[in-house]
Amino acid sequence: MKKLTDIPCTGCSLLCDDIVIDVSDGSISKVYGSCSHGTKRFKEVLATRLLEAKIFENGITRSVATEDAIDKAVEILSSAEKVLVYGFENSTNETIELGLALAEKIGGTFDTSPSICHLTVPLLEKYGVRIGELEEILDKADFIVFWGANLADTHLRQASRYSVFPRGEIVKTGRENRIVATIDVRKTKVTRIAQHQLIVNIGEDLDLISKIQDAFSQESSTEDDVAGISQLSFATFMHDLKNATFVAVFVGSGVMYSINVDQIIENIVKLVKSISTKKTCTVTPLAENLNSMGVTLISKKKTGFTYAIDFSNGSPVSNPSVTSVTNQLLRGNFDAAIIVKSDIFTHIPRSATKQLLKIPTIALEEIPTLVSEFASVTIPVTLTGLETGGYITRTDGKKIELKPFLKPPKNMFSEEEVLRKILSKI
């Protein structure tokens, strides 16, 4: 038995890099330090993985060699007029770059699953607000805000590994020196660890942001309730906010469910910018999938846009109300799709799903999903972080190098290798 230390976990976008794993005879026997999501990734994915490439043709599914499946994928992509290149939120940075290159080469549309990062990153750039790096927050943040973020469902170790409980260089006693505030439309499990539990009325986030802004800049306090929050709760929250030295705001996917999500995120970023004039204040989006932040940052760097990027006219264009996957599927724009490690059926409405089922689809997947079930070509790929290395961008934008430790099955390629082969053959 081999004991491996400091293995980065690929269970979520936190990429906790302190995992210890016992490996014997090519299988994982024990995982130390990972949460239940990480443990599921390490232990269950090996048992449920896809092993055979398949082609569905004339109503029959047949197992084929991986190379034959790749050739079939090339045939579909080459003969298509307009291709959807979708997914990559669970892929390595190297694979994301290849996905963008493929979309550009074939004049397709590159899109990915919805993420808070898509909206936050451009606004941070626009207003000159920096993303809070997790290690800096661990060391220095004495006021932490979780906005629409239920860590107990999404990022289980965020509070224990990076923000609330660890003892930092400046915040030496950890939890005892930190004030935690949760802002949400309901009570969640994470409110248990917060001193300030602000339950905001549905649809009144903007009102709350505006009141915080006023109270912060005018040194005055409201005498009324704010967006459903009692005057006393709001006043004590503002008192602690004003006395803090380093404020770290984490924005979760809960904000995405608001109708005016763009405005809310923009106003949160503007509020953070305003607080930054008097003390250190950062924003960190909590990326929903392993590499949602990587897809966002790489797409932004390469094309200037974060999602729904259309290459039909040669140069990249993004206008989500026209170029997003759902809108284009509903208009019947695509005649083929390649989906990389993403369960698109859970991201788009049923009406768009029906359109997707009408066109030939190529799926690159590690495990069985609805996509691999219905795809015309299914190509199994090696397990990222377990069998294949590369870089993943953590939720705060830091690149983390993976440390693969298992041997992949014979004749199975990584997602990166499959895309390289497809690109070279088209």
Q: Is 100 helix (H, G, I), strand (E, B) or coil?
A: helix
Residue 394 lies near other proteins (rule: CB under 8 A): no
Binding-site member from 12, 15, 35, 400 for other proteins (CB under 8 A): 35
Could you tell me the maximum CA-CA distance found in the chain, to the nearest angstrom? 72
The residues, ordered by sequence, that sit 6+ positions from 352 with a Cβ below 8 Å of its Cβ are 325, 326, 329, 330
Smallest gap from Cβ 161 to other proteins, in A, equals: 4
- Are 285 and 118 in contact by the 8 Å Cβ rule? The answer is no
Residue 31 lies near other proteins (rule: CB under 8 A): yes
Smallest gap from Cβ 385 to other proteins, in A, equals: 16
What are phi and psi for residue 62, nearest 5 degrees? -130, 145
d(C-alpha 392, C-alpha 287), whole Å: 12
Task: Choose one: 28-36, 60-68, 200-208, 326-334; the region binding other proteins (CB under 8 A).
Answer: 28-36
Site for other proteins in 222-251 (CB under 8 A): none
Angle at 344 between CA 341 and CA 347, to 5 degrees: 130
Residue 62 lies near other proteins (rule: CB under 8 A): no
Residue 46 lies near other proteins (rule: CB under 8 A): no
Residue 398 lies near other proteins (rule: CB under 8 A): no
What are phi and psi for residue 237, nearest 5 degrees? -60, -45
Residue 127 lies near other proteins (rule: CB under 8 A): no
Q: Is 413 helix (H, G, I), strand (E, B) or coil?
A: strand
Total residues interacting with other proteins, rule: CB under 8 A: 35
Smallest gap from Cβ 158 to other proteins, in A, equals: 8
Read off the tokens for 162. 């990076």
Q: Which is nearer to other proteins, 35 or 348 (CB)?
A: 35
Binding-site member from 106, 141, 144, 156 for other proteins (CB under 8 A): 156
Task: Choose one: 27-35, 98-106, 226-234, 235-243; the region binding other proteins (CB under 8 A).
Answer: 27-35
Residue 108 lies near other proteins (rule: CB under 8 A): no
Smallest gap from Cβ 244 to other proteins, in A, equals: 21
Query: Contacts by 201-208 with C-beta closer than 8 Å and gap 24+?
Result: 201/227, 201/228, 203/258, 203/259, 203/260, 204/228, 205/255, 205/258, 205/264, 206/260, 206/263, 206/264, 206/267, 208/183
Residue 254 lies near other proteins (rule: CB under 8 A): no
Virtual torsion, Cα 108, 110, 111, 116, nearest 10 deg:
-150
Smallest gap from Cβ 51 to other proteins, in A, equals: 25
Smallest gap from Cβ 30 to other proteins, in A, equals: 6
Task: Choose one: 15-23, 46-54, 365-373, 387-395; the region binding other proteins (CB under 8 A).
Answer: 15-23
Closest by Cα among 404, 286, 415, 270 to 340: 415
Q: Is 43 helix (H, G, I), strand (E, B) or coil?
A: helix
Residue 403 lies near other proteins (rule: CB under 8 A): no
Smallest gap from Cβ 26 to other proteins, in A, equals: 18
Closest by Cα among 382, 371, 392, 343 to 91: 392
Binding-site member from 62, 192, 354, 358 for other proteins (CB under 8 A): 192
Residue 197 lies near other proteins (rule: CB under 8 A): no
d(C-alpha 123, C-alpha 299), whole Å: 15
Task: Choose one: 34-42, 55-63, 107-115, 209-217; the region binding other proteins (CB under 8 A).
Answer: 34-42
Residue 166 lies near other proteins (rule: CB under 8 A): yes
d(C-alpha 227, C-alpha 116), whole Å: 23
Angle at 353 between CA 347 and CA 355, to 5 degrees: 140
Residue 160 lies near other proteins (rule: CB under 8 A): yes
Residue 193 lies near other proteins (rule: CB under 8 A): yes
Q: Which residues contribute to the site for other proteins (CB under 8 A)?
A: 5, 18-20, 30-40, 43, 138, 151-152, 156-157, 159-162, 164-167, 174-175, 189-190, 192-193
